Amino acid sequence: MSKVAVKKSVEDKAAVLTDVKGYARKIWLAGLGAYAKAGQEGVGYFKELVKTGEGVEQKGKKLVNEQVEAANSQIGSVKNTVIGVKGKVDVQLDKIEKAFDTRVASALNRIGIPSKQDVETLSAKLDELSALLEHVARTK
């Protein structure tokens, strides 16, 4: 019986080996088939992906352009507000400057220092006198 059992065991192992080889071949052929099918359908799938990508790109550009336009309009309105405020500030600064100049001139006048207008008036009178003196000197 031992010969029969050994023979049957060897036959079983050979059958299993044949089955393994068959399965390995089927797996190999399935891989080749998947590769070939992917090659055939891959071009179409690639084209579909490109088309989808183009659509997404256009939507993205449109969204970015809308956001840029919205930001630019907000910047424009803020700029106009700033320009208005700047004009008001300039007017207020002019008023403050004039008030300061008036007070400084008043204080200088009180302590006996002549103002710019006083110096200009005096200078004009000196020019008149100089011209008169030159005229008198030429006539002598």
* Range in 38-47, 85-94, 124-133 the model is least confident about: 38-47
> How many angstroms separate the CA atoms of 119 and 115, rounded?
6
55-66 per-position pLDDT tens digit:
999 999 999 999
pTM above 0.85, yes or no: no
Can you say whether residue 112 is alpha, beta or left, with left for phi > 0 and alpha for psi between -120 and 50 degrees?
Answer: left
The rounded mean pLDDT for the chain is: 83
The residues, any chain, with a CB within 8 Å of residue 108's CB and separated by 6 or more, are 114, 115
- Residue recorded with tokens 């106009």: 80
19-42 per-position pLDDT tens digit:
878 888 888 888 888 878 777 777
Q: Tokens at residue 40, please? A: 């055939």
- Residue recorded with tokens 């300039």: 90
Domain ranges of the chain: 2-139
| DSSP SS3 for 113 | coil
